[in-house]
């Protein structure tokens, strides 16, 4: 069985239980999805996210890495816009699938909504500088770029082209995804009444006149391309399938990914993984027993990531404090030199004043002595 994890929306802290309801995602959301499919041996990680909190994103990445350490294969799939921390999470996949009309935009991390003193700003700057270097090295380790080329590309903060996705190594393969083409209204073409006659329908019969062409494509083993109503490129129970604007006949169909899909009245009623012959029932909400060691190892990996972040923050703070102490020492040395110079000046002045005073005193004694002699002679 192939499981599916969805990283949709802005990444925020796990403390918000209602995050998903407002279009956000977090580590809690990913764990909840995994717990319902923990028997799966491989997962498609579908990403449609502008990014968000880098600390939470690092925890999510660590959790997914923990699954890989348990032998679970991960394939990351673009599912729209993948930007910022979303591109970071995309790199966790052993296989990374990019759809040619999606968007991919990595960039350097930055601080936002920050206030504080000059020292606080300095510390924040040092922290961001550290994270920028970490991100550049992260992508350099996982693509064909060296550190400097990785840093320069992230600093450009731009969309990556389809060719670059492969040449740089962000993706391992590119697939076609057709855009929504049109809505056909046969009523406006004046054909609705003719169609009713051909089909033997009464004039009162209501006919659906709008046919939407969906933008997610699924390819069958025989090369047939299916327009699916799903938001992801993986068949799910309840999806509506269309082939060249018409619903396919009821029956079983096999996709190139190995899914056997049962179609009933144009809708997916059952999905089976041909490798393990297990049925995926989307509506089933039964409790699934989760291997505790997977959770424990994922938690350990998450804690390691948190510890690494703490160490970096501590080192940045210590560096800032060391620089502050060095500055204070320099000021004290400068003040000490000024005091020393002042003392020397005062000593010089006192010596000069003493010499002058003694000189005047000698002259006065001589004068007194002369007067005394004159009086004695008299």
Domain spans, the chain? 2-177+291-322, 179-212, 217-290
CATH number of the 2-177+291-322 domain: 3.90.226.10
Burial of 14 (0-12, 13-18, 19+ CB in 10 A): middle
Predicted pLDDT at 88: 97
Tens of each residue's pLDDT in the chain, 378 residues: 788 999 999 998 765 555 555 678 999 989 989 998 988 999 999 999 999 999 999 999 999 999 999 999 999 999 999 999 999 999 999 999 999 999 999 999 887 766 778 887 888 888 888 999 999 999 999 999 999 999 999 999 999 999 999 999 999 999 986 444 444 444 444 445 555 555 555 555 555 544 444 456 777 877 787 878 776 667 888 888 888 777 888 999 988 777 888 999 888 888 887 544 444 444 434 444 455 566 666 667 666 767 677 677 777 777 766 777 777 777 777 777 787 777 777 777 767 666 555 555 555 555 554 444 545 445
Predicted pLDDT at 84: 94
Predicted pLDDT at 288: 45
C-alpha pair distances (Å), 287 with each of 28, 34, 84, 265, 284: 17, 12, 34, 30, 9
CA atoms of 58 and 306, how far apart (whole Å): 8
Predicted pLDDT at 196: 55
Burial of 291 (0-12, 13-18, 19+ CB in 10 A): exposed
**Side-chain-side CA neighbours of residue 130 (13 Å):** 19
Predicted pLDDT at 124: 80
CA atoms of 117 and 124, how far apart (whole Å): 10
CA atoms of 329 and 332, how far apart (whole Å): 5
Predicted pLDDT at 19: 59
Which residue stretches of the chain are H helix?
A: 27-35, 54-69, 85-90, 118-142, 147-156, 162-164, 192-199, 292-377
Q: Single out the residue of 98, 112, 93 nearest to residue 52, CA to CA.
A: 112
Predicted pLDDT at 327: 74
Predicted pLDDT at 187: 45
CA atoms of 32 and 5, how far apart (whole Å): 10
């Amino acid at each position: 069985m192939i499981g599916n994890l969805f990283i949709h929306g802005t990444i925020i802290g796990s403390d918000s239980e209602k995050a998903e309801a407002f279009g956000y995602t977090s580590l809690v959301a990913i764990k909840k999805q995994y717990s319902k499919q923990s028997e799966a041996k491989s997962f498609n990680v579908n990403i449609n996210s502008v990014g968000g909190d880098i600390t939470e994103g690092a925890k999510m990445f660590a959790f997914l890495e923990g699954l890989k350490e348990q032998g679970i294969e991960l394939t990351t799939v673009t599912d729209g816009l993948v930007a910022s921390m979303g591109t970071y999470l995309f790199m966790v996949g052993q296989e990374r699938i990019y759809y040619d009309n999606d968007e991919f935009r990595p960039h350097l991390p930055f601080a936002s909504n920050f206030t504080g003193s000059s020292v606080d700003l300095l510390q924040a700057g040092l922290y961001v500088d550290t994270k920028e270097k970490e991100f550049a090295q992260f992508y350099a380790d996982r693509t064909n770029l060296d550190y400097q080329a990785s840093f320069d590309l992230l600093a450009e903060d731009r969309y990556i082209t389809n060719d670059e996705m492969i040449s740089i190594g962000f993706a391992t393969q590119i697939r076609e995804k057709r855009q929504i083409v049109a809505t056909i209204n046969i009523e406006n073409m004046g054909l609705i009444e003719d169609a009713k006659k051909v089909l033997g329908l009464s004039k009162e019969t209501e006919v659906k006149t709008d046919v939407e062409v969906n933008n997610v494509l699924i390819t069958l083993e025989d090369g047939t391309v299916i327009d699916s109503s799903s938001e992801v490129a993986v068949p799910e129970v309840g999806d509506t399938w269309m082939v060249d604007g018409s619903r396919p006949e009821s029956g079983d169909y096999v996709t190139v990914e190995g899914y056997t899909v049962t179609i009933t009245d144009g809708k997916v009623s059952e999905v089976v993984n041909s490798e393990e012959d297990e049925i995926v029932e989307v509506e089933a909400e039964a409790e699934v027993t989760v291997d505790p060691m997977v959770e424990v190892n994922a938690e350990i990996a998450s804690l390691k990531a948190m510890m690494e972040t703490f160490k970096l923050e501590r080192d940045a703070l210590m560096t800032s404090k060391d620089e502050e102490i060095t500055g204070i020492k320099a000021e004290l040395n400068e003040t000490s030199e000024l005091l020393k110079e002042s003392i020397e000046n005062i000593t010089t002045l006192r010596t000069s004043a003493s010499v002058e005073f003694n000189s005047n005193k000698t002259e006065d004694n001589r004068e007194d002595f002369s007067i005394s002699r004159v009086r004695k002679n008299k």
